[in-house]
Amino acid sequence: MSIDYRIFSLLLLSFLLPTLIHSTPHPQRGNRDDHRPAEVEQTITTTTSDDTAVIDQDDSNNDDEDTPIVPSTGTGTGNGKRGLAYNSSSPSLQVFANSDISWVHSWSSSPFDAPSEFLFVPTLWGDEPPHTDNWASLAEGHPYLMSFNEPDIIGQADMTVGDAVTAYNRLMFPLRKDGVQIGAPSVCSGSGNNDRGVPMGTGWLREFLEQCDDPDSCVADFVSGHWYGCPGGTCSVSDDVSSFKGYVNDLIGTADGRDVWVPEFQRYGNEAGQREFLEAVLPWLDDSAVVRYAYYMVVDGILTTGGEVNALGGAYAGI
């Protein structure tokens, strides 16, 4: 029996085409599922006992443009410094009510039903759509606004200093009115240059502040930095504590009198090591020049378990 290979090829293609289509990365997000610094690792895993939780933190494209946002000034019982980093996949933040938590952020302009007792701080993740869609209206009424997420990291906001200054002038500075404070882009804790030759960490931030220093067009009321410990928790707790304090002090020096925020930091490793780390750095942060900080993040396997605050989350939130 002879086979018409043209017909066979068409049948094979019709069988495989749906699989090929559904395996294609999302056109907007691609494979950017991680806000963590690239010098640490690109796939986020957090190990607790024998379980490994894989975390997708990227809600930068999930702003709900049709849902009106009611700004909250927050009524939390904390000192105003301690906050929560979360996204749409996080458990309800209500489990952190009546704690030391005062403010929250979601790496986006959407609060995702955060309780009104917490001050929500919107973030303009990047300088292109969909991040910029309706940004001005979504940011309206909020007293603090954060800008570009890790522009010094390829795969994150990924911007040169000059491009960031231009976008900041256009998208952030016009919102600095009626007491609203705007923050410089949040940099990583790396050093040197990335693969594009762009400075990283406080080197990037320093150049940004030098170029963004005009009261009529470009001002940063506060600076912001992210820090992560040794991958896999391979460093001792004391080494990570020293590294963290060193980075924050560098950030404070770079700020040159501006307020300092650390809205994303974490020590890798098991719960016991993370708790020991927090016990060492939280009192230091509360006594430091840092104005706001948030541990990474509200997700089962780190600060919650089964949607409830776990031992680490309780130690962090003062519950």
Confidence of residue 232 (pLDDT cuts 50, 70, 90): confident
pLDDT in tens, 18-76: 333 333 222 222 222 344 433 333 323 333 333 333 344 445 444 444 444 444 445 55
- Rounded to 5°, angle at Cα 34 from 21 and 225: 155
The answer to whether the peptide bond before residue 200 is cis (omega within 30 degrees of 0) is no
* Residue 5: its H or E element: helix 5-22
Tell me the two tokens of residue 262: 């650390």
CA gap 295, 267 in Å, rounded: 9
Confidence of residue 78 (pLDDT cuts 50, 70, 90): low
Residue with the larger pLDDT of the pair 9 and 262: 262
Q: Residue for token digits 């917490």?
A: 118
Percentage with pLDDT > 70 across the chain: 76
Has this prediction a pTM greater than 0.75?
A: yes
pLDDT higher than 60, residue 90: yes
pLDDT in tens, 144-160: 999 999 999 999 999 99
Mean pLDDT of 285-295: 97
